[in-house]
Structure 1
Amino acid sequence: MSKVCQLTGARPLSGNKVSHSNRKTKRRFMLNLVKKTLIDEKSGSKVVLYVTARALRTLAKNPKKFAKQIANYAKKDLKKKSK
């Protein structure tokens, strides 16, 4: 599983880990991904997505913001199940 938010497309960032003596080594800033079951408003079908906690907060405040992306994943899920 890649560490990418399926709604926002957010990816891990890279940067430096800085020690007390100010030595720098590379590190990755990982996302706070959550496996969440979301419901498509039009079709009423359930879709399981990996979403960042930030996207979940946005969904709680404005549910229609990611409606297109959720509908697209619902269509893909229906196609997989029909095969």
Structure 2
Amino acid sequence: MSRVCEISGKNVMSGNNVSHAKNRTRRKFLPNLQNVKLFSKSLDKFINMKICVRSLKTVEKNGGLDDYLKKTSNRVLAPEAIAIKNTILKHVKKDQNVNKL
């Protein structure tokens, strides 16, 4: 899945270059994607992801990958992010059950 953010699902958009003479030619608007390693505290490992800078800023603002995914609804997230969110929630639930015993 190239040119698609793995958290927000932002992808390539198309539009027009408009010259001074109002001539229109088609162009692509590419998202600012970066390869990053995000650390998951609950899974205790790094996760390699290809995400846009806008998503990276919101992840850092919300206190890390785990906190961001817990706060965000599934409607906003891309399928890859939903899968990571489900594994994090399962791991947290399992840890809570172990601590109760």
Coarse TM-score class (shorter-chain normalised): 0.7 to 0.9
Q: Which residue of 2 aligns with 1:15?
A: 15
* In 2, Cα distance between equivalents of 1:38 and 1:70: 15
| Bigger CA radius of gyration | 2
TM-score (norm 2): 0.64
Aligned equivalent of 1:61: 61
1:66 deviates by 2.6
Q: CA deviation at 1:60?
A: 1.3
Name structure 1 gaps, 5 residues minimum: 76-83
Question: Which residue of structure 2 lines up, in the alignment, with residue 72 of structure 1?
Answer: 84
* Segments of 4+ moved more than 3 angstroms: none
Gaps of 5+ in 2: 73-80, 88-101
- Using the aligned pairs only, state the percent identity: 32
Q: CA RMSD in A?
A: 2.2
Secondary structure of the residue that 1:35 maps to in structure 2?
A: strand
With over 3 angstroms needed to count, the CA separation of the structure-2 counterparts of 1:16 and 1:24, relative to structure 1, is same
Q: Larger % of helix: which?
A: 2
Contact 1:5 1:50 in 2 (8 A): yes
CA–CA separation in structure 1 for the residues paired with 2:33 and 2:45 = 22
CA distance in 2, matches of 1:9, 1:49: 12
Number of aligned residue pairs:
74
